[in-house]
Amino acid sequence: MSHKQGLILVNLGTPESPTPAGVKAFLRPFLSDRRVVDLTPWLWRPLLELLILPRRSPRVARNYAPIWTPDGSPLLAIGRRQQAGVKARLLQANLDWPVCLAMTYGEPSLAAAWQQLKAQGVEEVCLLPLYPQYSSTTMAPVLDAWGRVMGAEKNVPALHLVRDYHLAPGYIAALANRVRHHWHQQGQGDCLLISFHGIPVRYATEGDPYPAQCQATAHALAQELGLTEGQWRLSFQSRFGKEPWLEPYTDETLVQLPGMGVRRLDVICPGFAADCLETLEEIAEEGKAAFLAAGGESYRYIPALNDQPDHLDLLVTLAAQALGSGKPFAS
């Protein structure tokens, strides 16, 4: 007898409102997670509560305000469309699975997603975190949160985890399609900057495979696009705090490139499955201003895969493979 299966798409999380209070409520559990900031709690927590949250929350709220949508933050609005698109494709493939969207921090919660699946009799769950590259700062917190949710369960469902998909053929193809479509519409720049979210160097030294997976994705994308070594670069963005993070830093790279002869720059962020503050504000707006101020002439941000059809096909394929239900879409 087969067990009923269900799928949870998981992303990091988002404030419920573009206000200092909304941002603070989101940042507190996020920055309190020792997977994210592993400093000694008795040192970190007072610093977080007394200095970082009061200063950072208003600034982040101001950054959110221009990109906020009628359906909430871009991450949440796109996530809802991804959820609906995946569900539609599953039905087309005769896979009647419940599909939920959850966030590691904030709402909709992983606990609420599980309760929805449980109410529908689901006994096998595919957790599909929308992180193509594995990191202890993103994927591991999903499993930690799932463990807490399961702590109250007597009948724990079977779990099928998509740990990463940084070299999945459908993923690389979808990224390449996104870039080619951009070039077809706006022309090709002198260089393609491939920017990933950074992590502290220390995490990588301690065994996190994230930088190697980012490098593998970047090389595979460049190869798929037929780019020569001088036509693309890899960098890491969004560093926080004073300790060394993965280099080269995106913000420093952006001001250096014009002096190296790059006048027209295209930027893509393959680690983000949905556009969010780090892409729409940090890269598309702040990055553009920095590049042009340094002497660049043209700067174009290439949007994330979001709810593009080939991206939704990929997510369905990953889930179907994880749950042993075949491969309904080519990737």
Query: What string of H, E and C letters represents the secondary structure of 12-81?
Result: EECCCCCCHHHHHHHHHHHHHCCCCCCCCHHHHHHHHHHHHHHHHHHHHHHHHHHHCECCECHHHHHHHH
Taking residues 42-63, report their average pLDDT. 95
Looking at residue 326, what is its pLDDT?
Answer: 52
Residue 242: which pLDDT band, with cuts at 50, 70 and 90?
A: confident
In a domain, 210, yes or no: yes
**Does residue 147 fall inside a structural domain?**
no
pLDDT score of 165 more than 50: yes
Residues 126, 325: Cα–Cα separation, whole Å: 11
Domain assignment of residue 282, yes or no: yes
Whether residue 272 is contained in a domain is answered as yes
Q: CA-CA distance, 137 to 134, in Å (whole number)? A: 9
Q: Is residue 154 part of a domain?
A: no
Q: Give dist(CA 23, CA 79) in Å, integer.
A: 19
Domain count, the chain: 1
Q: What is the pLDDT of residues 82-95, one digit of tens each?
A: 999 999 999 998 88
Please compute the mean of the pLDDT values over residues 155-181 and round it to a whole number: 97
Mean per-residue pLDDT, 50-71: 96
- Cβ of 158: how many Cβ atoms within 10 Å? 12
Query: What residues does 18 pair with on adjacent strands?
Result: none
pLDDT on residue 325:
65
- Asked if 292 and 63 count as a contact pair (C-beta separation under 8 A), the reply is no
Residue 262 has a pLDDT of 97
| Cα distance between the two ends of the chain | 30
CA distances from 236 to 115, 123, 254 (A): 37, 39, 11
CATH of the domain at 212: 3.40.50.1400
In a domain, 220, yes or no: yes
Does pLDDT of 327 surpass 70? no
Bigger pLDDT: 182 or 42?
A: 182
Q: What is the pLDDT of residues 2-35, one digit of tens each?
A: 689 999 999 999 999 999 999 999 999 999 999 9
pLDDT tops 50 at residue 252: yes
Q: What is the mean pLDDT of residues 285-314?
A: 98
Are 78 and 56 in contact by the 8 Å Cβ rule? The answer is no
Mean of pLDDT values over 294-300: 97
pLDDT of res. 265? 98
Give residue 293's pLDDT: 98
How far apart are alpha carbons 35 and 258 in whole angstroms? 37
Across the chain, what does the average pLDDT equal? 95
Average confidence (pLDDT) over 182-186: 96
When pLDDT is averaged across residues 124-149 and rounded to a whole number, the result is: 97
Measured torsion, CA atoms of residues 276, 282, 288, 293, in degrees rounded to the nearest 10: 170
- Residue 105's nearest CA partner among 267, 304, 276 is 276
Threshold 0.75, pTM exceeds: yes
Domain of 271 in residue numbering reads as 169-302
- Mean pLDDT check: name the lowest of 35-49, 178-192, 259-273: 35-49
- Residue 214 counted as domain residue: yes
**How many C-beta neighbours within 10 Å does residue 86 have?**
25
Please tell me the predicted confidence (pLDDT) of residue 330: 39
Alpha helices, DSSP H only, in the chain?
20-32, 41-47, 53-64, 74-92, 110-119, 139-150, 169-186, 201-205, 210-225, 250-256, 277, 288-293, 309-322
Question: 90-118 in b/e burial notation, b at 16+ Cβ within 10 A?
Answer: beebebebbbbbbbbbbebbbeebbebbb
Q: What is the mean pLDDT of residues 60-69?
A: 96
Residue 270 located in a structural domain: yes
